[in-house]
Amino acid sequence: MIYHDSEHRLWVLSGPSSSYVLHLDEADRPRVMHWGPRLTPEQAASLLLRLPRPGFRPVEDPLEGSFDLIATGGLCYGHAGLQVRFADGTRDLELVFTGQRRTDRELVLAYADRHYPLAVECHYRLYGDVIERHLVLRNEGEPVTVVRADSATWVLPRLNGYRLSSVRGQWGAETRLHRAELPYGETVLTSRRGVTSHQANPWAMVDDGTAGEEHGAVYSCALAWSGSWRLTAQRLPTERVTLSAGAGHDPVTWELGIGEELVTPVCAGLYTEGGFGAASRAWHDHQLRHVLPHAGEIRPVLYNSWEATGFDVSLDGQIRLAESAARMGVELFVVDDGWFGTRTHDAAGLGDWYPNPHRFPDGLGPLIDRVHELGMRFGLWVEPEMVNPDSDLYRAHPDWVIHRPHRRRTEHRNQLVLDLSRPEVGDWLYRTLDELLAKNAVDFLKWDMNRPFTEAGPDERLWLGHVRTLYDVLDRLRAAHPHVRIESCSSGGGRVDLGILRRTDQVWTSDNTDALDRLDIQHGFSQLYPARVMGAWVTDSPNPYTGREIPLDFRFHVAMAGVLAIGGALTEWSQADLDRAAELVADYKRIRPLVQHGRQYRLLPPDGELSAVQYLASDGGEAAVLVHRRARRFGHADPGIPLRALDPDARYRDTATGEVHHGAVLLTHGLFPDLAPGDYASALVHLVRE
Ligand code: GLA
């Protein structure tokens, strides 16, 4: 609900349990009066009485850092979310309010520079307690350089302390949670790589330092953008804190020609109470309701052949794997890299998206038919934004890659990036994939992007343009092939964000499939993103990447925390493992509606001896608990694991043992899962309300 008090130039944007209150001051600056628990319009208006008396003007603006649109100019010395350079070199913006447009859920506040022909609109859209915010800049007269256009600047109220939560990582070690006091100055989370990145992810949470998993207020924001980005968490010495986020990194700028418009991506903000767990659940809920396409679908159990075969792809080999996967209960069979062009290793073939004629002399038809006959859907790996210099595409169009004259073309994994900001490249990309999907009965694409940009040069359009074309091609392909589902992958989890999730169905979380490492990666992933999109494979032991040996049940019980998949060399598994795997797949299918669509409670974090996560059906009727013991230390007995959000007066039956537990006892004394005595013990407990 959006309420406007014209007399006081006040707007109150309220979700079910929070409010965001804006007031336009006498200088037309939108001051954030409140972001926190819900206020009535009357309560919100009373905040104006508490404003400092006008007249006292110290050298530094005492209100610096309290506006939701901060433009360069005047006495503003902190981070400005909006920075421009006019043709005559002027960098100061002097915005005057020009009007508003408003519905129940949407608000547009419009401004224009008082001299230069630049219009700025701030758009707000309410989804429950989530506020989506973006900017529209319109050049109405003379060229202007946009230096920075953050989609949103979120202003926090005064707290007793400030602690920042975010994720950091690298290839094979994505989304590891980092929680530390926010230092004074500017903390910059950023990607300069052209993709969202493994190193950082475009979201942040701030609390006062006392919030826990299930208690405390949390302020968070997340940017919906899959290219380079920058999130600035600023803490001024005056204890004002802002979170400002937008596309592009320093020093990328954008030339806005006459009559042109720049529409920024969306940055969403959310205030929650109930700790980090409640914040995560609210973000999960938002994505399931408003971000993901086909959010209501159950994601199938997938098999992917990459770890089993590498580039050694053959029709017979794939069919053998498919038959084994089908017996295990797999529902979607995905052929990874190595099926196309001359791609028998990673130095050739990217760009040539036709089946390798030696490996598939009759095309993909025979394989696809067999997979469908086995009752599974068929998926294919593509990496269409890339080209190997050793490919027909590159030989025909060497100028299609991102490059600069007089500079080397830096190769990474022997490949270069196609410049999607060039219209002919975007057209080729769409045509090629459209044809691939039209000619082959493909149900699923794993869309990979394995290297960052280099030599991108001063043509700044490329940084935004590449992502825009990517989004456009994905949108058009989905419209033309509505049955096709897409997985976003970028060397594992390098392109996971609310922008790509608007147009893909799941993501590949990490190339690291070691179940122990995965516990940390998945814990960080779950802070913002729901289990419904988190691809998680069970692979071989010892793990091909880390060499660690982990029992099959533990590997499954870790992967069951998301969209379960199998990625092992099944033809080398023992019959006992294949049989046990089939049982575990069946177990997962029983609980997956809870995992994929229920509410998630992180019961115990992954850094202790025991970790656990619970999923609760939205009607509270069923719960699934996954428990992992990484190591038993000192012969300790396992403690009970208190569950969350159950009905204390209800009884819950364990579907495996038939044992009946009282809700009140599970909530206080906890669950004692029957774990094997040693290291790497795990359990799945499925409880149904009686
Ligand atoms: C990337 C992906 C892997 C696999 C390979 C294939 O590394 O993350 O899952 O698809 O590419 O080359």
Residue 408 belongs to some domain of the structure: no
222 and 310 both lie in a single domain: no
Q: Which of 511, 540, 553, 638 is catalytic?
A: 511
In the predicted model, is pLDDT for residue 396 greater than 70? Answer: yes
CATH number where 586 lies: 3.20.20.70
Cβ count near 243 (within 10 Å) = 27
What is the pLDDT, as a whole number, of residue 496? 98
Higher pLDDT, 60 or 316: 316
Task: Identify the residue whose tokens are 């998680």.
Answer: 536
Using only C-alpha atoms, what is the Rg of the chain?
Answer: 26
- Residue 555, classified by CB atoms within 10 Å of its CB into exposed (0-12), middle (13-18) or buried (19+), is buried
CB 18 near ligand 1, within 6 Å: no
- Mean pLDDT of all residues in the chain? 96
Rounded CA-CA distance 688/621 in Å is 6
| Residue whose structure tokens are 């814990």 | 523
Of 596, 620, 645, the last residue of a domain is 596
CA 222 to CA 424: how far, in whole Å? 32
610: domain CATH number is 2.60.40.1180
Give the pLDDT band (50/70/90) at residue 185: very high
Specify whether 256 is located in the same domain as 218.
yes
Count of helix runs (H) and strand runs (E) in the chain: 12, 37
Beta bridge partners of 508: 535
Taking CA atoms only, the protein residue closest to ligand 1 atom 2 is: 491
Q: Does the pLDDT value for residue 50 go beyond 80?
A: no
pLDDT above 70 (res 195) = yes
Active site residue 207: no
Q: Is residue 553 part of a domain?
A: yes
Q: How many domains in the chain? A: 3
Using a 10 angstrom Cβ sphere, with 0-12 exposed, 13-18 middle and 19 or more buried, the burial of residue 677 is: exposed
Q: How far is CA 602 from CA 514, 523, 561, 620, 647, in A?
A: 20, 8, 11, 16, 18
Do 381 and 350 reside in the same domain of the chain? yes
CA–CA dist 256, 315 (Å, integer): 51
Cα–Cα dist 273/251, whole Å: 37
CB distance 145 to 255 below 8 Å? yes
Residue closest by Cα to atom 1 of ligand 1: 491
- Is there a domain that residue 394 lies in? no
The last residue of one of the domains, among 272, 291, 310, is 291
559 contacts 538 by C-beta, under 8 angstroms: yes
Assess contact for 308 and 155: CB atoms under 8 A: no
Are 376 and 333 within 8 A, CB to CB? Answer: yes
Catalytic residue flag (residue 390): no
193 and 281 both lie in a single domain: yes
- Structure confidence by residue, pLDDT tens digits, 502-543: 999 999 999 999 999 999 999 999 999 999 999 999 999 999
**Looking at residue 250, which CATH number applies to its domain?**
2.70.98.60
Helix axes 575-597, 552-559, angle to 10 degrees: 20
Please tell me the predicted confidence (pLDDT) of residue 70.
85
For the annotated binding site, the residues are 171, 336-337, 413, 446-450, 489, 511
Spatial contact of 195 and 540, defined as CB atoms under 8 Å apart? no
Q: Are 400 and 418 in contact (CB under 8 A)?
A: yes
Given a contact cutoff of 8 angstroms between Cβ atoms, the answer to whether 529 and 203 are in contact is no
- State whether 675 and 582 are in the same domain: no
Query: What confidence tens digit (pLDDT) does each residue in 568-608 have?
Result: 999 999 999 999 999 999 999 999 999 999 999 999 999 99
Give dist(CA 686, CA 654) in Å, integer: 6
Residues 238, 92 share a domain: yes
Question: Residue 524 and residue 178: Cα distance in Å, rounded?
Answer: 8
Q: Is the CB of 450 under 6 A from ligand 1?
A: yes
Calculate the alpha carbon distances from 340 to 366, 381, 383, 384, 481 in Å. Answer: 15, 10, 11, 12, 21
* Ligand 1 centroid distance, CA of 169 (Å): 17
451 falls in which pLDDT band (50, 70, 90)?
very high
Residue 431 C-alpha to ligand 1 middle, in angstroms?
A: 23
Instruction: Choose the catalytic residue: 448, 497, 587, 638.
Output: 448
Pairing verdict, β 534-538 and 506-508 = parallel
Query: What pLDDT was estimated at residue 92?
Result: 94
Q: What integer is the mean pLDDT of 58-69?
A: 78
Q: For ligand 1, say whether the CB of 336 is within 6 Å of any of its atoms.
A: yes
Give the pLDDT band of residue 609 (cuts 50, 70, 90).
very high
Residue 296 placed within a domain: no
Q: Which residues pair with 683 in a beta bridge?
A: 627
Q: What are phi and psi of 474, to 5 degrees?
A: -60, -45
pLDDT score of 49: 84
- Cα 29 from Cα 41, distance rounded (Å): 20
- Tell me, what's the pLDDT at 574? 98
Residue that finishes a domain, picked among 229, 259, 291: 291
φ, ψ dihedrals at 674, nearest 5°: -85, 85
Examine the domain organization and report whether 502 and 625 are in the same domain: no
Answer whether residue 547 is part of any domain.
yes
Q: Could you tell me if residue 14 is inside a domain?
A: yes
| pLDDT at residue 444 is higher than 60 | yes
Residue 341 reports pLDDT greater than 80: yes
- DSSP helix, strand, coil percent of the chain (3-state; round to 5): 25, 30, 45
Q: Residue 57 — very low, low, confident or very high, per pLDDT cuts 50/70/90?
A: low
**CA 432 / ligand 1 centre spacing (Å):** 20
| Half-sphere exposure in the Cβ direction for 225 (13 Å, CA) | 37
| CB of 489 shorter than 6 A to ligand 1 | yes
Is 71 in contact with 27 (CB distance < 8 Å)?
no
pLDDT at 684: 98
The confidence band for 250, taking pLDDT boundaries of 50, 70 and 90, is confident
Q: Has residue 314 been placed in a domain?
A: yes
State the pairing for strand pair 534-538/563-566.
parallel
Looking at the fold, whether 232 and 93 belong to one and the same domain comes out as yes
Which pLDDT band holds residue 162 (cuts at 50, 70, 90)? very high
Distance 475 CA to ligand 1 centre (A): 23
Instruction: Judge whether 415 lies within some domain.
Output: no
Q: Which atom of ligand 1 is nearest to the CA of 346?
A: 12
Residue 556 Cβ inside 6 Å of ligand 1? The answer reads: no
Q: Cα dihedral angle (344, 513, 497, 415), rounded to 10 degrees? A: -20
Q: Say if residue 517 is in the same domain as residue 591.
A: yes
**Ligand 1 near 385 CB (within 6 A):** no
State the Cα–Cα distance between residues 307 and 301, nearest whole angstrom.
Answer: 17
Phi and psi angles of residue 533, each rounded to the nearest 5 degrees, phi first:
-115, -5
Q: Are residues 546 and 623 in the same domain?
A: no
On the CB side of 214, how many CA atoms lie within 13 Å of its CA? 10
Asked if residue 613 and residue 501 are part of one domain, the reply reads no
| Token couple for 342 | 């001359």
Concatenated DSSP letters of 558-573: HHTTSEEEE-S-GGGS
Domain span at residue 664? 604-689
Q: Which of 311, 328, 310, 314 is nearest to 570 (CA)?
A: 328
DSSP letter string over 407-464? S----BTTBEEB-TTSHHHHHHHHHHHHHHHHHS---EEEE-------S-TT-THHHH
Q: Taking each helix axis from N to C terminus, what angle separates 515-525 and 552-559, rounded to the nearest 10 degrees? A: 10
Same structural domain, 33 and 168: yes
Query: What are φ and ψ of residue 50, in 5° steps?
Result: -95, 5
Q: How confident is the model at residue 689 (pLDDT cuts 50, 70, 90)?
A: very high
Q: How confident is the model at residue 85 (pLDDT cuts 50, 70, 90)?
A: very high
